[in-house]
Amino acid sequence: MNNKIANILKDQISDLTWIDKIAGLVQTLNFRQKTGDNITEKSYPISCDISEDACLKGAYQDLCPNSKKKSILYFEDKGVVLDRMEGNRMYYVSSLRLVCWLNLQLIQDEGCIKDVTGCGTSGDYVIEVIKKFNYVPFDVGGLYMIMIQPPSQVERSVEIFSKYSYNEEALQYLLFPFDYFSLDIETRFTIPCLT
């Protein structure tokens, strides 16, 4: 169910002009890479919607920071719990983590948000994302009374990316002129009980 919720959230923010690469729900791809006599373990976030063929052709690096992208945004699964059953409905709470990486130099070159410098300059982008979500209940694709709760911002730390090893080159993209942020988002919804 979180894949559906992530795609709903993605659709609501996908028209932000500074978003370069956006994915819905991601999973972690782990693989071993051989370089000469050495074998190293690598892990990357990959879209749950990626095809096997695209993955084999190198698309597993699509959500990896690099100097050519303005930004990367995706959602990590933090689970769905049954809140209660009431009448003929089951009430659920979805938890997702939005992760966003920013290349401030490329974004500013396009004139999006100017004159940001230093640590934690992502605040304006956080506000833009938060303002795009629909906080009024709505129905989509078999999910009813979908209610997005205002997100909480996660502490700014490289720990946001700790489950991914990427490659050594990508780690340099966590320092200025690059920035990042993460939001924890709860979404409540109902589905009809089976009769």
pLDDT one-digit tens code per residue, 122-135: 888 999 999 999 99
Q: What is the DSSP letter of 158?
A: G
Q: Which has the higher per-residue pLDDT, 89 or 35?
A: 89
Task: Please report, for the chain, the start and end positions of each structural domain, with discontinuous segments joined by +.
Answer: 2-192
Type and span of the H or E element at 168: helix 168-171
The predicted pLDDT at position 71 comes to: 94
Query: Which residues lie below 8 Å from residue 37, measured CB to CB, with a gap of 6+?
Result: none
pLDDT tens, residue by residue, 7-33: 999 999 999 999 999 999 999 988 887
Say which residue, 99 or 193, is predicted with more confidence. Answer: 99
Summary mean pLDDT of the chain: 87
Confidence of residue 167 (pLDDT cuts 50, 70, 90): low
Q: Cα dihedral angle (173, 176, 177, 180), rounded to 10 degrees?
A: 60
